[in-house]
Homo-oligomer: A and B are copies of this chain.
Amino acid sequence: EALHKISCIINGDRRKPVDCRTNGADVFIPFSFIEGYFEITGKVEVDKRSANDGRFFNWQHSYAKLVFPKLPYEPDGIFMAFDNYNVEVRDRVQHISPSEGVPVSSQWSANNKGHFYPIQISQFGLSHYSKNISEEQPRRHVVADFEKSEDMAVGDECRVDRIEDDDRASIVLNFTAPEDVSFPGISLISIPDTGDPHILFSVKFLSKGSVILKLDVQDRQRQNYELVYTSSNESIRVENHRIFYGVGSTGEWTHLVRDVYIDLLKGLNLHVRGKKDKIKLNVTRMRILEITLHGRGLLDDVVVQSTAHSELFYLAAEWLVKYQDEEGGWPIWVKRRLGEAELAPGWYSAMAQGQAMSTLTRAYKRTGQMKYLEAAVRALDLFKKPSSEGGITAVFMDKYEWYEEYPTTPSSFVLNGFIYALLGLYDVSHVSTGGYRKRARQLFDEGVVSLKALLPLFDTGSGSSYDLRHFTLKGAPNLARWDYHATHVTQLLVMNSIHPDPMFAEFAERWSDYMKGKRSEHN
């Protein structure tokens, strides 16, 4: 078939004609133009099931995929579809705090100085909680518990013995080696070669000291790295192939749960600024060659595991208990700009409250420990405080209360953060009792009334709006990009599970259709 070139004039703009083709019957438009004009994604792929060469062009209206939540939603079940999330691998997780075991965020922070972002920490916890349900139990190898003598390489000037430790009620390794890592130390050398990336150990530094993991990594090429967990207070530092994580406590037992892969990835990217320049690891094989001790201290229970979802979840819950303030909130210590509005460091977020509540109620349901429940119900306190007075609740047109992810002035009415807040309230209303239960239920019910009233205002007929700032700022809608739009759909499906309403089901269906290019009708 003969195709001829024909110029396409787009909306009358003769300066930038598009190079099209025609066979007389139809005109063919280059996808390179469509892609930018409509923001469609597409690429040539090969269908291996096909008999002939199987090449086809895969046109995708939305680059994001809809992930269906696990339903029915339960206050102690998988959170939404968070079993698909890997929070720590995200660029905006700068590293995992060696002292707290939870993510340190680089988001919005000046000079790449990390900060503890409660939403990220809760999402880290909830994703591990959910994976702990959806995935199989981890493989677990005890490298050394020191209940018996272990194989070790002990350098000159080093000394080890096994002693009974009262705190741990267990026999532990008492080690003395040069603080300086350029001298020989004491090495555990019988590490199972399973490739499992999680290492757990308990350490009590009695002087400056360190625990060094020597790694043999097969990425694009084979490399040796050292992960150095030290008694320093400096959270993370990188020197060539040596990455230092400062545990920061001396004279106290510290229990570390580290994902070696993540600790390596974050170290390698610590000084990489541009999102595009970030190093992505594609590790095909990794081995912990040896674990070497320096300084004076005690060591116990060195374990290698395939995963550590349960342990990481409790680290997040622990952090929330430890850092909740007297208002029941988790202030966020970075400045946040939304257009013209600015939140000064120390702001609260209804989404942080909600996600923390969902984390804490799950920790309580699993352990029965009251500290988790107490923290969860204390998180209710901030809900009635207006966003204009440092709280988290805004009111739309003097009528509908809205729990603000970003309590800006003027209000922003972010949709996804509001629904996360509702889920937290729902969880507390099911897990708590008496007055707290009633309070949480009331806040939830009022929120649902607002959601049902305002949800249509987020519907653009071909997607959704991220917030209602266009109402408060009298400007253009801030359209939700596809991954946020997909989150909206997932959330509406969860809402329909906990508060069945045809409206939620219909919106979820229509909004998921938008991801396939369908639109609402015009008149």
Contact = CB atoms under 8 A, between A and B. Distances in A.
Contacts of A397: 396-400
A460 B477 contact: yes
Contacts of A22: 44, 57
Interface string A447-465: 0000011011101111101
Interface in A391-437: 396-400
Contacts of A8: 42, 56-57, 59
Interface string A115-158: 00000000000000000000000000000000000000000000
Contact of A44 (B6, B17, B459): B6
Nearest to A476: B520
A474 B172 CA distance: 65
A500 interface: no
Interface in A28-64: 28-32, 34, 37-39, 42, 44, 55-61
A510 interface: yes
Q: So how many copies of this chain end up in the complex? A: 2
A460 B521 CA distance: 13
Contact of A461 (B21, B38, B479): B479
A389 to B, nearest CB: 22
A460 B457 contact: no
A7 B57 contact: yes
Contacts of A459: 470, 476-477
A199 to B, nearest CB: 38
A31 B38 contact: no
Contacts of A253: none
Given A17-B56, A479-B521, A463 B466 contact: no
A46 to B, nearest CB: 11
A506 interface: yes
Given A3-B21, A9-B58, A21-B28, A476 B457 contact: no
A480 B399 contact: no
A93 B256 CA distance: 81
A471 interface: yes
User: Shortest 6 CB-CB distances between A and B: which pairs?
Assistant: A28-B28, A479-B522, A476-B520, A11-B516, A456-B470, A460-B460
Given A27-B44, A27-B57, A399-B399, 12 more contacts: A3-B3, A8-B56, A9-B58, A27-B31, A37-B517, A398-B398, A456-B475, A460-B460, A461-B463, A466-B522, A476-B510, A478-B521
9 contacts: A9-B59, A10-B517, A21-B21, A29-B31, A396-B397, A397-B398, A452-B474, A453-B471, A481-B523
